[in-house]
Amino acid sequence: MKCRKCGERALISLRRHNAGFCKEHFNEFFVRQVEKAIKKYEMFDYSDKIMVCISGGKDSLVLWYLLHKMGFDTTGMYVNLGIGEYSEKSLEKVKAFSEKHGLKSIIVNLTQLGHPITLMEKRVKRTACAICGTTKRHYFNKVAHENNFDIVATGHNLDDEAARLLGNTMRWYPEYLGKMSPALSADSQIKKKVKPLIRLTELEVGAYAFMNGIYYIADECPKSVGATSMIYKNALNTLETEMPGTKHYFYSEFVKNVAHKFEREETEKKEMHICSICGIESFLEVCTFCKMLEKIK
């Protein structure tokens, strides 16, 4: 296959775009998709202070790399989850990456704080992923609030969000369906949250990382085995193979035509409180994270 732009040998073929690209023109395509997402969903501009949530995986490192390259003011924020070797390896990748590119980062270490995920899952009656999600959200909100960031950016890609949409649709979770937009506006203490990789698939992000020498942790988190998100991703991959473009169509048309029907009006929104223990905004008097921590003590 030849590159759609220059006719040289293509290094990657994108069926959903019916096109192949050489390295130079794939990079150009990739950056254009990120720029389109930032513009279309009015995510941020050059005056914003952006906190990029980093896991050591390809998506978050590619996002950080690109936003920095595009000239945005970024700081990485990494939560070391305390999940054995997986967490040690991911920390190494984050450190090596930020040193190589001279980037600022903030690291929160759950083991040093006395509540690694492996301990929390023994004491709290929820799945490791549910505990992990609540914990990461807590620290993202706390660090963004305490350091006056304007924006919290995450590396979720099209596969992640289409799978999440499928899961929320299969179970008809109106609360979650109302929060599927790639740009969720700020809510006093809680900062605006954005997903600039939303127009790119997992495969495209992986190819970008490979072609640009971005070294990430390739191992999956051991807790992801059997996670329902993987089942939804596999189902969507089957559909995508038969009907290229399905994931993008499914997600983007939902955001364009349906999502607003699930969003709560200002008047319908639940009252927010300041958690009496951690001081971070929550729907509850004591937030879910602090309730979990009480079980550890």
**Residues contributing to the site for Zn ion (CB under 5 A):** 3, 5-6, 22, 25, 275, 277-278, 287, 290
Q: How far apart are CA 276 and CA 284, in angstroms?
A: 9
Nearer of residues 53 and 287 to ligand SF4, judged by Cβ: 53
Query: Residue 287's binding partner, choosing from ligand SF4, Zn ion, none, with beta-carbon cut-off 5 to 8 A by kind?
Result: Zn ion
- Quick check: 223 binds ligand SF4 (CB under 6 A)? yes
Residue 18 interacts with which of ligand SF4, Zn ion, none, CB < 5 to 8 Å by class = none
Single residue of 221, 236, 280, 290 touching ligand SF4 by CB under 6 A: 221
Interface with ligand SF4 in residues 148-167 (CB under 6 A): none
Choice between 21 and 140, CB closer to ligand SF4:
140
| Burial grade of 191 (CB within 10 A; 0-12, 13-18, 19 or more) | buried
For residue 162 the two structure tokens come to 């289409």
CB of 4 vs Zn ion, minimal distance in Å:
7
129 binds, among Zn ion, ligand SF4, none (CB under 5 to 8 A by kind): ligand SF4
CB of 117 to ligand SF4, least distance (A): 6
DSSP string for residues in 240-289: HHHSTTHHHHHHHHIIIIIHHHHSPPGGGSPPPEE-TTT--EESSSS-HH
Q: Give the Cα separation of 196 and 200 in Å (integer).
A: 9
Q: How far is the CB of 221 from Zn ion (least distance, A)?
A: 25
How far apart are CB 23 and ligand SF4 at their closest, in Å? Answer: 31
The verdict on 224 binding ligand SF4 (CB under 6 A) reads: yes
In terms of C-beta density within 10 A (0-12 exposed, 13-18 middle, 19 or more buried), how is residue 156 classed? Answer: buried
At residue 225, the 3 state secondary structure works out as coil
Question: How many other CB atoms are found less than 10 A from the CB of residue 232?
Answer: 21
- 200 is a site residue for ligand SF4 (CB under 6 A): no
Measured CA to CA, the distance from residue 15 to residue 9 in angstroms comes to 16
Cβ-proximal residues to 130 (8 Å cutoff; 6+ apart), any chain: none
Q: Shortest Cβ distance from residue 32 to ligand SF4 (Å)? A: 29
Nearer of residues 256 and 295 to ligand SF4, judged by Cβ:
295
Q: b/e for 39-58, b at 16 or more Cβ within 10 A? A: eebebbeeebbbbbbbbbbb
* SS3 track for 141-161: HHHHHHCCCCEEECCCCHHHH
User: Binding partner of residue 224 among ligand SF4, Zn ion, none, CB under 5 to 8 Å per kind?
Assistant: ligand SF4
Q: Which does 278 bind (CB under 5 to 8 A by kind): ligand SF4, Zn ion, none?
A: Zn ion
Q: Which does 3 bind (CB under 5 to 8 A by kind): ligand SF4, Zn ion, none?
A: Zn ion
Within residues 116-145, the interface with ligand SF4 by CB under 6 A covers: 117, 128-129, 132-133
**Residues that bind ligand SF4 in the complex, under the rule CB under 6 A:** 117, 128-129, 132-133, 221, 223-224, 227
